[in-house]
Amino acid sequence: AKTTLYRRWAGKSELVVDAVAELFDALELPDRGSLEADIEDVVLQFAQLLRRPEARTALMAVVSESTRDEALRCRIRSAIVDRQKRLVVLGRERAQARGELPYEEDEALAGLATDLIFDVIAGTVVHRALVSCEPVDEVWVSAFTALLMHGLRGADRP
């Protein structure tokens, strides 16, 4: 019943945010043995999720609505963004344990690195899948991951 819904959610947007958050909570970071392989896997999972009509429509709707609603932006940040940063933290920890990434001694810099990694990956995939409507397939994901891993100079350049 409508009254039951409004006891838990203040409005339709909040309900949609929680529904989208549940979809995103299904994303997992498998341990495929290397940071590069882990990134490729989770990006492909994310792209597959964004191909689902209900995820695509709901995400675009709440993001659009949040441009006019600061409280909704905060809810999106806490229910979706902050919860999904767990994947970045886990990926960095695994990569550090394998010796692929250095440990960050400064907690503020570690937090900044987590934010940057999340923003680059999520922002790029969302833009490509939902704004540009270009495929996020294995070829693209491999090129994107190589760019992340090696930067603009590439792997073979000094």
- DSSP string covering 134-155: ----HHHHHHHHHHHHHTTT-S
Per-residue pLDDT of 61-83, as tens digits, reads 999 999 999 999 999 999 999 99
Residue 156 lies in a domain: no
Domain count, the chain: 1
Tell me, yes or no, whether 59 lies in a domain.
Answer: yes
Are 121 and 113 a contacting pair, CB within 8 Å?
Answer: no
pTM, entire model = 0.86
Q: Is residue 29 part of a domain?
A: yes
* Residue 30 domain boundaries: 2-150
Q: Is residue 60 one of the residues assigned to a domain?
A: yes
CA distance 58 to 64: 10
The verdict on residue 104 lying in a domain is: yes
Predicted local distance difference test score (pLDDT) of residue 141: 97
What CATH number is given to the structural domain containing 47? 1.10.357.10
Whether 98 maps to a domain, the answer reads yes
Q: What is the pLDDT of residue 29?
A: 93
Q: Which long-range contacts (C-beta less than 8 Å, at least 24 apart) are formed by 109-117?
A: 114/85, 114/88, 114/89, 115/85, 117/88, 117/91, 117/92
- Phi and psi at residue 151, in whole multiples of 5°? 75, -175
**What's the mean per-residue pLDDT of the chain?**
90
Cβ–Cβ under 8 Å, residues 31 and 22 = no
What was the pLDDT predicted at 105? Answer: 87
Report if residue 20 sits inside a domain: yes
Number of neighbours of residue 33 by Cβ within 10 angstroms: 10
Q: How far apart are CA 65 and CA 120, in angstroms?
A: 23
pLDDT (tens digit, 9 = 90+) per residue, 92-113? 999 999 999 999 889 999 999 9
Distance linking the first and last C-alpha atoms of the chain: 63
Domain assignment present for 155: no
